[in-house]
Structure 1
Amino acid sequence: MEPTCPGAVERYVNLGECYDTPALKAIREELTGCMEGYPECYRRAYRCLAAAAQIEADRRALLLTPAVEARMVKRARGILSRECKRTGKEPGQAKYRFLDAISCKGVQCNFETAEGLCRRIYELCDSWGLAHPLLAYLAAGARAAGYDVILCPDPMDPERLRHVLIPALSLGFVSSTPTLPYPGKRPYRRLRIDAMADQEQLRRNKGRLRFSRKMSAALVDEAVEAMAQAKAMHDALEALYNPHVDFDRVHAQADAIAAELLERA
């Protein structure tokens, strides 16, 4: 991150002072060699994820009809009337936090974070990625009732929601899929988003949907593999660098910055 107003607002922290430069110069060829192809791994991963996101958007365009959205809004309205009594306070605030990630370790979701904040979990069984309208309506209703909400976007499409948490009510709405099922104990409630889809549309497009799911999964797998390759290169680079870094000096810099921040607090 480059400072926009160095000195006045931000400042540089030069960890390069902690290197044993002569020792690193001696292994220069090894250092450059283990990073060969590193940028291309990430470019390949991003291309694959972008393609997978387009396939999923095409699938939603087919299945997320106005009638389906209306059914979700109706269900969300019933949940809000039961769970979110008005507080009479000002509208609540929204914070955005990613609960999911696609990384070198695969597709992951920190469901335990949701369980730590919310004792009551609504599991949304959502094979096709359709839950956003229901979650958006729930989030808007909870905020209007005076509750702060945590909005958890879809890492493949951050404009869309995958989960909504309302800590003050100890109430969470988490999406689960066949590839990323909810691993916790029996949820407080289970909503079958799949059942709200147009069943005739699902039947008519069964082959197309099966193909799109297979292609999207293959692209995500390829992206994960590319990121795993990049991680292996990075680990090899760290193994070469670490013996030639004065970590006591690194920790001393961190302690000095922390002390300065605590003095201002």
Structure 2
Amino acid sequence: MKGNFKHFFPGGNTSKGFYSFYRYIMPQENARRIICLKGGPGTGKSTLMKKVGQYFNEKGYDIEYHHCSSDNNSLDGVVIKELNVAILDGTSPHVVDPINPGAVDEILNMGECWIENNFKDYRNSIISINKQIGKTFKHAYRYIGAAKIIHDDWNYYNLDALNFSKINVFIEDLKNILFRNTTVSVAANNRHLFATAFTPNGIVSYIDSIYKDYKQIYVLNGEPGTYKTSVMRYIYEEALKRGLFVEVYHDPLIPERIEHICIPNINTAILTSNEINKKTFEGIQINMSDYQNKLLLERSKAEIDASKQTFYMLLNKGLSIISQAKILHDELEKLYVPNMNFDKVEKITNDVITKILKYEKEYKNL
């Protein structure tokens, strides 16, 4: 029987530039082995990770695919949950170096598969394209940052119309429902990733692969400034006080904000349907607009509409520039691919699978 796949983004293109939660892919204290892949674009890193994931999924293991926000069809990491083994792309912009080399981490250099003599003709092109890619991402981040400023304006008008007395009652009621069978305990661990990202293919969300097995689903619906993130933050902190492990999925625009949380111990997911993911979820629907003063909203309608329009214009421009960066990256890959010995890549992939099978045998003998 095959295992399940879950999909995540460990890093994101945000209003603060590239933002990483890489350290949460596989914490050192939990890991049996973390393999860090080094090598340029087009050297087979993502393909290796996909093959390893598919192989162990066929054996019945649950697999996590951690996607690259700069190319969501490519992987930054793969995790075999039951074996506590991870393979990570350790190249820029998510540089990963061994923290506990030998004991936990090892480096696998895909550069060993290069035909080095052939690169001398492409040296200047590779340097030039890499510079262009860096400049293009900075350009995109400026537009996303500008979108965030307008988002703050949109947020302000909605926040101004909130009835905080009603919201506070709602939050307390929700807390009492969720944690009625729990008590305050030692603070638990938590994990932070993105479920949604700004990619060359637009706004992509993998939340459906994450929450699908949860029995209790709460959905917070509302525009920015309707207190969704504050509700999430409060429930997240209350769960930790009760010793409950929490998976936190962050907002791709403002990475400090929470987009979704999942609490496996009580089989509960709290999701937001918002202005970025624009998703519709089944579950207990909570409309945050019910806690707003409709008269105040109506008075600010023109300003809110103007902010919406400007926000999406700026964000879409940022997304289109990220797409341009992907085109440049594809050009870079074209310089590497012809200079790779893919027989060596295939051998390395098989060696990695063999190594993990050894870890599997050791794990079962414990």
Q: TM class by shorter-chain length?
A: 0.7 to 0.9
Structure 1 CA distance for aligned equivalents of residues 135 and 157 of structure 2: 33
1:24 paired residue number: 119
Deviation of 1:3 after TM superposition, in Å, equals 4.5
Structure 2 CA distance for aligned equivalents of residues 89 and 137 of structure 1: 15
1:155 paired residue number: 252
Which amino acid is the alignment partner of residue 134 of structure 1?
V
Equivalences, count: 263
Structure 2 CA distance for aligned equivalents of residues 164 and 2 of structure 1: 26
Relative distance call for 1:201 and 1:66 in structure 2 (3 A) is closer
CA contact (8 A) 1:80 1:142 kept: no
1:176 paired residue number: 273
Question: Which sits farther off after the overlay, 115-124 or 226-235?
Answer: 115-124
Which amino acid is the alignment partner of residue 204 of structure 2?
Q
**TM-score (norm. length: structure 1):** 0.83
2:333 paired residue number: 238
Deviation of 1:33 after TM superposition, in Å, equals 6.3
CA contact (8 A) 2:161 2:294 kept: no
Map Cα deviations across residues 91-120 of structure 1 (whole Å, 9 max, x no partner). Answer: 443322211111111112222134334232
Relative distance call for 1:68 and 1:79 in structure 2 (3 A) is same
Map Cα deviations across residues 102-144 of structure 1 (whole Å, 9 max, x no partner). Answer: 1111112222134334232212111225311111122223333
CA contact (8 A) 1:165 1:173 kept: yes
Structure 2 CA distance for aligned equivalents of residues 251 and 72 of structure 1: 57
Structure 1 CA distance for aligned equivalents of residues 302 and 138 of structure 2: 31
Relative distance call for 1:78 and 1:46 in structure 2 (3 A) is same
Identify unmatched segments of 5+ residues in structure 1: none
Which amino acid is the alignment partner of residue 109 of structure 1?
S
Map Cα deviations across residues 16-62 of structure 1 (whole Å, 9 max, x no partner). Answer: 33211222323456556655732221011110111111221233234
Structure 2 CA distance for aligned equivalents of residues 54 and 264 of structure 1: 53
1:208 paired residue number: 303
Which amino acid is the alignment partner of residue 121 of structure 1?
I
Question: Which sits farther off after the overlay, 217-226 or 152-161?
Answer: 152-161
CA contact (8 A) 1:86 1:146 kept: no
Equivalent of residue 212 in structure 2, options 109, 116, 132: 116
Map Cα deviations across residues 56-89 of structure 1 (whole Å, 9 max, x no partner). Answer: 1233234324954443332121122223223346
CA contact (8 A) 1:56 1:216 kept: yes
Structure 1 CA distance for aligned equivalents of residues 102 and 265 of structure 2: 39
Map Cα deviations across residues 236-265 of structure 1 (whole Å, 9 max, x no partner). Answer: 221331121123334545636983994997
Identity among equivalent pairs (%)? 21
Structure 1 CA distance for aligned equivalents of residues 242 and 122 of structure 2: 62
Q: 1:243-254 to 2 correspondence within 5 Å?
A: 243-253=338-348
Identify unmatched segments of 5+ residues in structure 2: 1-94
Equivalent of residue 241 in structure 2, options 144, 168, 183: 144
Which amino acid is the alignment partner of residue 254 of structure 2?
D
Map Cα deviations across residues 147-176 of structure 1 (whole Å, 9 max, x no partner). Answer: 222122212112221212112222111111
Higher strand share: 2
Could you list the structure 1 runs, at least 4 aligned residues long, displaced by more than 6 angstroms after superposition: 4-11
CA contact (8 A) 2:217 2:268 kept: yes
2:231 paired residue number: 134
CA contact (8 A) 2:98 2:106 kept: no
2:294 paired residue number: 199
Structure 2 CA distance for aligned equivalents of residues 7 and 150 of structure 1: 27
Which amino acid is the alignment partner of residue 42 of structure 1?
F
Relative distance call for 1:68 and 1:239 in structure 2 (3 A) is farther
The structure having more radius of gyration, on CA atoms, is 1
Equivalent of residue 171 in structure 2, options 63, 71, 76: 76
CA contact (8 A) 2:162 2:291 kept: no
1:60 paired residue number: 155
CA contact (8 A) 1:97 1:153 kept: yes
Map Cα deviations across residues 208-235 of structure 1 (whole Å, 9 max, x no partner). Answer: 1111111111111011111111111111
**TM-score (norm. length: structure 2):** 0.62
CA contact (8 A) 1:150 1:165 kept: yes
Question: Which sits farther off after the overlay, 73-82 or 14-23?
Answer: 14-23
Instruction: Please give the secondary structure, in 1, of the residue aligned with 2:256.
Output: strand
The CA RMSD over aligned residues, in Å, is 3.1
Relative distance call for 1:32 and 1:158 in structure 2 (3 A) is closer
CA contact (8 A) 1:18 1:249 kept: yes
Which amino acid is the alignment partner of residue 168 of structure 1?
N
Which amino acid is the alignment partner of residue 111 of structure 1?
I
1:102 paired residue number: 198
